[in-house]
A and B are shown apart, each in its own frame.
Chain A
């Protein structure tokens, strides 16, 4: 059975850890430390990078991800904001317009819904609408998905929502290596990135190699990672840790499905219109041979309010 893991699920985590080879010299690092060190190194390397969010400074981070950074970089670069997501997200995006590289923290992505207009309309679409005149190098990060019994309003997974938006990159790291590499790549990226962490993973420890610990390390965005080959209970499965929701690594997924002819998608988000649904659609389009099935073509390509009728016609004629 093929399992595609987008986020840690309890069983998968145990399986992956048990089958790792521990070398004596491999350092253990928690996801929290990985994120903290990535932020620290990127802030040190580029003065334009700054942090803003609730409790990021004096409180040392709501989940202690930004611990020590206020002391090291000062209040100009680690900015505690009032509890006003729409306002401070807009301010972060405006700072990115000017050329700074803000990292905006949401205490959870549930609260980012208050700011979602700025994430999508002010950040994601601006590079396109300005035809490259204004780029928006902002990172929106924070815990996403379920925590430990925090209730319906604090537990939603937003991967599918943000994953649908052209102009955004959406990342979902699993291990410490993922967290470090992808956060560094996100901060260095010239476009807006939504970085979906998970509160339950912050305290989890993973081995990291010397390469991962290097300040210059980063993980290319858009590549899934083949995880372990499971031999548990006689199940032979390829496990793919997606890591990147947008761009989705369709080639890796399709190659694996074509090899095994089986697919299981696992996600925390709501199933309808979810990431798993998109993976299935990708398989149907790219790997299944059904002669009567028409491709979705360019439906939904980035084209906001088109002012020119003929371009609209051209886009819709491709259906």
Chain B
């Protein structure tokens, strides 16, 4: 808890710094480029990190805000539905982690593939899914994206480059490397983002897949969303080394502030553009959705973008 309070204080400082240092005058429809500094610097492992200055536009910032706010509202609504027993089974929520989904989408195309674990509702939205498809699927209705047969953990949208939605912790990482294998085999100039949590970071199959991806030079980017909990167990009790971005050893890694959508966008753009198609290990700090109790940190990714939009 003390750790969380310390981070909250850091965020308050960086938020104010971002707001004060900007000299922007934003019009909502404007597509003129502006440059924003990420709130925290990147840290590289066996690689020079990208610049902290991110190119964006007011229109993009507004779309970030809208998308993240939509995702947040959807997850909170899902939480209420779950408590009302209209959603049964599992319901893993992504509120607090929206900046990762939104920042990633801004850097990639629908021809790039994303695969993730069971915290997949917002990734699905980012890949072109609709609210109707999401809520219907959560409640087991035939209008759901999987016609009600998948449920919370099994959203898919192959035509949008989204390959699920996987219930077995860590399984999505070799699958994601398989998608990258197929992209390379088919000579598509695209990449795959295989997302996983800090809990899955300890899985053996992740390292098996990482070895093969590095050996065969696959266009795979492994993204660790670190919310400091693996199911109900805190990170310090599960992982000897919490520096997940270094876990790739011979594979370059980047530590990114997952609360900052622009930092995520910069990092994903950087990873995608790597000329030698090395796969990378990211480590993003984000709080948990369901378990975090500190409101300021939950709000931070959306508030940060909001401040950028409205400041002048």
Contacts and interface: CB of A to CB of B under 8 A. Distances in A.
Contacts of A308: 88, 139-141, 148
B89 A306 contact: yes
Contacts of A94: 115, 163, 174-182
A134 B140 contact: no
Select the residue from B138, B171, B182 with max chain A CB neighbours within 10 A. Answer: B182
Given A90-B205, A94-B182, A118-B174, A131 B168 contact: no
B154 interface: yes
A129 to B, nearest CB: 4
A88 B88 CA distance: 34
A91 B152 contact: no
Interface residues of B, number: 52
B211 interface: yes
Contacts of A76: 185
Interface in A105-142: 117-118, 121-122, 126, 128-131, 133-134
B167 A305 contact: yes
A156 B171 CA distance: 25
B165 to A, nearest CB: 8
Contacts of B152: 307
B154 A87 contact: no
Interface residues of A, number: 38
A14 B175 CA distance: 45
A93 B166 CA distance: 13
B20 to A, nearest CB: 46
Contact of A131 (B88, B115, B149, B164): B149
Nearest to B206: A87
A311 interface: yes
A81 interface: yes
Given A118-B171, A307-B152, A91 B185 contact: no
Contacts of B204: 86
A121 B148 CA distance: 18
B112 to A, nearest CB: 12
Contacts of B268: none
A95 B185 contact: yes
Interface in A276-307: 305-307
B157 interface: yes
B182 A98 contact: yes
A84 to B, nearest CB: 4
A84 B149 contact: no
A201 B165 CA distance: 41
B154 A129 contact: yes
A90 B173 contact: yes
A122 B148 CA distance: 18
Contacts of A97: 158, 163, 175, 178-179, 182
A130 B113 CA distance: 16
A92 B178 contact: yes
A90 B171 contact: yes
B226 interface: no
Contact of B168 (A50, A95, A117): A117
Contact of B208 (A86, A122, A130): A86
A130 B212 contact: no
A82 interface: yes
A89, A118, A121, A305 — most chain B CB neighbours (10 Å): A305
- Complex A-B, nearest 9 residue pairs according to Cβ-Cβ distance, in ascending order: A94-B178, A90-B174, A87-B208, A308-B140, A98-B182, A307-B151, A94-B175, A84-B208, A131-B147
12 contacts: A79-B216, A82-B215, A90-B177, A91-B175, A94-B180, A96-B178, A121-B167, A126-B164, A130-B149, A131-B150, A134-B164, A306-B151
Interface of B: 87-90, 113, 115, 138-141, 145-154, 156-158, 163-168, 171, 173-183, 185-186, 204-205, 207-209, 211-212, 215-216
Given A100-B182, A305-B167, 14 more contacts: A81-B212, A82-B212, A84-B211, A87-B208, A88-B174, A94-B179, A94-B181, A97-B158, A128-B149, A129-B156, A130-B156, A131-B148, A307-B87, A308-B148
Interface of A: 50, 76, 79, 81-82, 84, 86-100, 117-118, 121-122, 126, 128-131, 133-134, 305-309, 311
